[in-house]
Amino acid sequence: MSRTRGMHRCGTCRRWLRPGGTYTVAENESRELLGICLKSIKGIGKDVQLANASFIWTEPHSKELKVKLELQQEALVGVVVRQTVIVELRVNNLQCDECKKSYTKHTWDSSVQVRQRSEHRRTLMMLEQLILKHKAHTKLIQLTPTKEGLDFFFSKERDAQDFVSFLKNWAVVKHHESKHLVSHNAQNTTYRFKRTTCVEVCPICRDDLVFLPKKTAQALGGLPPLMLCLKASSQLCLVDPASSRCVEVASAEYWRKPFQSVSIPSKLTEFIVLDIEESDLARGRGGSAASVQPCEVEIARIADFGHNDERLTVRCHLGAILHVGDSVLGYDLRSLHLGMDEDELGGVPPLEVYLVKKKRPERTKKKKPHPKRGKGVLSTAASVQSSFLEPDREDKQPTMPAEDEHPEDMEDEAAEMKAAAEALLTQLGASGTFRLASLCHAWLDLGASFQIRR
């Protein structure tokens, strides 16, 4: 058995090279590092068995590791010979492949480009929160924001594929892949590619007003041309406010016959609810959501207050959450230009106002109250001082003694106050400082003199 061996460690990431050719993280004098050392020592096998192994302490900055081995071997039948051997391992610095890539422009092997081509990218913002919540960014090595989305870079192709699968589970997306050659070896016919996956997110977001083409509306079950988007996740949930009919559009079905939104939440108008009446339409028809309840609402535009008395009655799906006096946001088609004519709408006149959601009151940041200060030594002393200096807050002037008061009663009261002050001074003397004791003495003299004057 050789008494000296060599080991390799990356000088950048401080990982150890295992005999198989992979790098692993191991602390000094740990069980993992001891296992790597034993695998690099030759001579331990069936003939010579290892009974025990441990490290011999060396300096932390030393380039040598010392391992104490306790070996045993059967010399004769039933006779076992045991011997202690110290092996010195020389640590050599060797840069790993990943650290080599970090100093070149080929730091990544696979990238995922996420794009959402819409005026407001609410679905993309939701995906950012889901990625952080489910820790889908653990294998990410670089993130670059772009004009229409984000670029995610990974060191392995498998990590990029897992990330794309995560996006497909939480949003309506489609993707296509591409690759380009980086290098190749003609002698052993090996190639190295960089792969890029472009993921396009559905441009329709929650609370959008959606226009369905005639063929698409017929394929989805004869839906009206204008509908509202209730939910945008792994599938789109659309609702018709006039009939409270809901339909869910899967990802494959949407990309087969895509449609666009004609208005976004930034164009919503605020109304106030004047009256509400439940509708006789069947609730939940067409697989609607649980929060959808048809009703007829009498509303007035807040901007018209003080100018006219214009009111209108519309049908909506918000009967479960609306009450008289609530503020509600909706699309006012009387003043909103959609860029469509009656032929495109199929001859069906849409509602004048499409109510979308109830307006919640704005949250105001409450000021945090100042933490309550406990009645410590200084606060107790201050209360004693205030009781001496201000015996009566309503009348700051010293009052003359009444005719029925006697000098003996005044002396007794002054003696009681002096005794109370001495008791307070006794309680504070164990933990108080000299300054606090002198302050209490001054207050004691002041109180006594005040009573004498009184």
Quick one: residue 14, left, alpha or beta (phi over 0 = left, psi -120 to 50 = alpha)?
left
Pairing outcome for strands 79-93 and 4-9: parallel
> Could you tell me the CA-to-CA distances from 408 to 84, 405, 413, 415 in Å, in that order?
98, 9, 9, 11
What pLDDT, on a 0 to 100 scale, did the predictor assign at position 450? 45
CA distance 219 to 213: 10
Beta-carbon contacts of residue 226 (< 8 Å; ≥ 6 apart): 209, 210, 211, 212, 262, 345, 350, 351, 354
User: What is the model's pTM?
Assistant: 0.63
Q: Which two tokens stand for residue 326?
A: 């609530």
Quick one: residue 191, left, alpha or beta (phi over 0 = left, psi -120 to 50 = alpha)?
beta
* CB < 8 Å & 24+ apart, contacts of 178-184: 182/106
CA distance 13 to 36: 17
What pLDDT, on a 0 to 100 scale, did the predictor assign at position 307? 84
Residue 87, beta-bridge partner list: 67
What pLDDT, on a 0 to 100 scale, did the predictor assign at position 198? 96
CA distance 438 to 215: 94
For the chain, 454 residues long, the average pLDDT of each consecutive 10-residue run is 87 89 90 90 81 89 90 83 90 88 81 91 90 91 90 92 94 93 86 92 92 88 89 91 90 92 91 86 53 88 85 90 91 83 68 89 65 46 44 44 52 71 60 48 52 45
What pLDDT, on a 0 to 100 scale, did the predictor assign at position 279? 75
Which is it for the CA torsion 348, 352, 358, 363, positive or negative?
positive
Q: Which two tokens stand for residue 46?
A: 């069936």
Identity of the amino acid at 234: S
What pLDDT, on a 0 to 100 scale, did the predictor assign at position 173? 94
